[in-house]
Amino acid sequence: MIPILFGVTIITFILFNVVIDDPAVLLAGKSASPERLQQIRAELGTDQPLYVQYLTSVKQIFTFDFGRSWSSKQSVSETILAGLSPSLTLTVPAFIISILLSICLALGTAYFRGTAVDKFATVMALALMSISSLVYIMVFQYTFAFNLGVFPISGWDQSWTDRWQYVQLPWMIWIVLSLGPNLLVYRTAILDEYFQDYVRTARAKGLAEGVVLFKHVLKNALIPIITIVVVQMPFLITGSLLLEAFFGIPGLGGLLYQAINNSDFPVIRAMVVIGTLLYMTFNLLADLAYAVVNPRVRLS
């Protein structure tokens, strides 16, 4: 993780401090006076040598102080912390439901492998994956919010008791979007274990098929499942960009969407760094979890 983190700091510094145009010109405009441009460069620290700017960017990562937003003039760190609660409200329940539902369906298709039930589930999963997420968002909003009026079209309430009505429809879309790829991957992982020697031995001992499936097959199939789940977990914190943008949820995904539209590079850089740190951390946790769920894996 240490060399990866070092490489990420180098890449992000090059992208946001070297490659992009002069931030002072972006903020003040090309018609600004040289004195005004120099003042902005001094405020941003871009008038310093590159090695000083790099050390400053590294310090910002470890102190979680990413300066101020160019568009809102607010602290980037405070803005990110404010968007964390709406993002987790949207992503965590939908993520847990989609994982549990996908595992149950994968176990069912593996149990009925080769039958019409298995083939129908596989075709439906491929069909769900083939449709763009934008289509799901527009169809669900038009059908359930605009026509039927079951859910609000968009909006948000900071109150813990009133915010849930605004995330139920995004939950449904998240689950539908996740169901297709999760079902295919989990089904493949379970079937890979289904025909191993230990499964035949368990059946020969007279164990019921349900016991074999849940107690033996599922436990050994958890390694690829954990890999997929852990790779997705950083998005729980960084939020869902499209869902938050279309449903007006002030989470981190919507924050990143606005930052891209406004060319707000301090916010974009902070989100890139935080996403990278989360991705590395959860991958480390996945490696540790392998040894917990599967006795054949040992840490050394």
254-293 residue pLDDT tens: 888 888 888 788 888 888 888 888 888 888 888 887 777 6
- Residue 299 pLDDT > 70: no
- pTM for this structure? 0.80
Spans of all domains in the chain: 2-63, 82-293
Structure tokens at 62: 């470890």
Tell me the sheet residues that pair with 300: none
Q: How far apart are CA 254 and CA 172, in angstroms?
A: 18
Task: Output the CATH code of domain 82-293.
Answer: 1.10.3720.10
Q: Report DSSP letters for 152-188, one per residue.
A: -SS---SSTTTGGGGTHHHHHHHHHHHHHHHHHHHHH
List pLDDT tens digits, range 41-70. Answer: 787 777 788 888 888 888 888 888 888 887
Q: How far apart are CA 296 and CA 149, in angstroms?
A: 52
pLDDT of residue 257: 83
Q: How far apart are CA 67 and CA 46, in angstroms?
A: 13
List pLDDT tens digits, range 115-143. Answer: 898 899 999 999 988 888 889 999 999 99
> How large is the average pLDDT for residues 231-254?
82
Q: Quick one: CA dihedral 238, 239, 240, 246, positive or negative?
A: negative
